[in-house]
Homo-oligomer: A and B are copies of this chain.
Amino acid sequence: MLVKVEMAGVCGTDVHYYRGMEKALPYPIILGHEFSVRIEEMGKTPYRLEPHGEDLEIGDRVALFNTVPCGECYFCRFTTKRGLCQNFFTWGITAKCKDPPYLYGGWAEYMYVDQPKAWMYKVPKDMSAKLNTLVEPMTTATRAVERAFAPGGPAYSEGFGPAKSVLIQGAGAIGTLAAAAAKISGAREIMMVAGEARRLSIAKKFGVDETIDMKEIRNPEERIKMVKERFSVTQGPDVVVEATGVPAAVPEGLAMVRPGGSYVEVGHFVDAGEVGINPFLLCSKDITLFGSYGYSEYDYDTAIHLLYKNRHRFPFEELITHEFPIEQAEKAILAAEQGVALKAIILP
């Protein structure tokens, strides 16, 4: 199958890859793993490519799951965590563009979908290309929140659940979408801590009730004190989600979460080095910490629905602050790298 790319997002990892910092990649590659595509040529798909069994036709806008797990390694076969697959294919990341059929990245006019185990969701007709492009980051954000559901009983204050309080570290696309996902799932109140006033004001449209601007409150100890005072009965929010990718955020967030609370680490998709953490904090607060890396095919389904069903409740498309024609892809990368763009997209 051949698909036509409508638009493709720029992810923080794209900047990382562009700078050549991920040595394992088979450069040269065509970047772009967040995208909205339409079917251009059908080809043959013996497998049920659309997981719900929907008919696919030329011209259909689809959410192509951007990864094809190998299906054979331990993690594919024994766990539900496909993000841990040891031998996955990902459009825009793992495919060399020197070898035929060359086109496996989203920053291009077309891509081939010839992997026999691919998944491709037909999205509702009135789901825009921009919303569709946000499916991938929304999947990351939603899974991060869902990780905190895992232990079960919201009623007796384990993990996330309706009426739980949440603090998000970071006002980027993932942090803001995590706020929306938590609000959609019934969060009582959401606080965000980040360093950019403009982004914090956008976040308020996505369910964030209160913000702490790190540019104003520069001392971490002071921020921690503010949070503890704000949640004075529980001594912190029930759940903290780290979505900055900055190591120093982790000990700060662990100090903020309430005793017995849950901490989700979803920001460190790339290695940014060590940070000093006190194990006594982890133990004595009886914290549950969830790493959240990648996602599984079925997580896309949740994200598509949360975006689509709540498209009138939250202005998701406003997250896309910058658009570049493909000739200016480098500008798009710079806009992401310098934090100018909340989410930049490339139009092929």
A residues lining the B interface (CB < 8 Å): 47-48, 51-53, 72, 74-75, 77-81, 83-84, 119, 142-143, 145-146, 149-158, 161-163, 181, 184-186, 188, 233-235, 242, 247, 250-251, 259-260, 265-280, 282-294, 296-299, 301-302, 305-306, 309
Contact = CB atoms under 8 A, between A and B. Distances in A.
Contacts of A247: 278-279
A143 B156 CA distance: 11
B274 A277 contact: yes
A162 to B, nearest CB: 5
A280 B301 contact: no
Contact of A291 (B52, B78, B276, B282): B282
A338 B276 CA distance: 28
5 contacts: A53-B233, A79-B158, A155-B298, A188-B309, A285-B291
A74 B234 contact: yes
Nearest to A295: B155
Nearest to A79: B157
Contact of A288 (B74, B158, B291): B291
A152 to B, nearest CB: 4
Nearest 7 pairs of A and B residues by beta carbon: A274-B276, A152-B152, A289-B289, A268-B283, A163-B302, A185-B186, A271-B280
Number of copies: 4
Contact of A259 (B84, B269, B309): B84
Given A79-B157, A306-B186, A267 B291 contact: no
A149 B119 CA distance: 27
Given A155-B298, A156-B79, A275 B277 contact: yes
A188 B72 CA distance: 23
A291 B78 CA distance: 22
A278 to B, nearest CB: 5
A284 B293 contact: yes
A250 B272 contact: no
A288 B289 contact: yes
A301 B185 contact: no
A290 B291 contact: no
Contacts of A242: 279
A155 B302 contact: yes
Given A152-B150, A157-B79, A184-B162, A284 B306 contact: no
A72 to B, nearest CB: 4
Nearest to A181: B162
A81 B80 CA distance: 11
Most chain B Cβ neighbours within 10 Å, of A74, A242, A259, A302: A74
A290 B275 CA distance: 19
B286 A292 contact: yes
A292 B285 CA distance: 8
B286 A289 contact: no
A220 to B, nearest CB: 14
Contact of A152 (B77, B149, B267, B297): B149
Contacts of A188: 305, 309
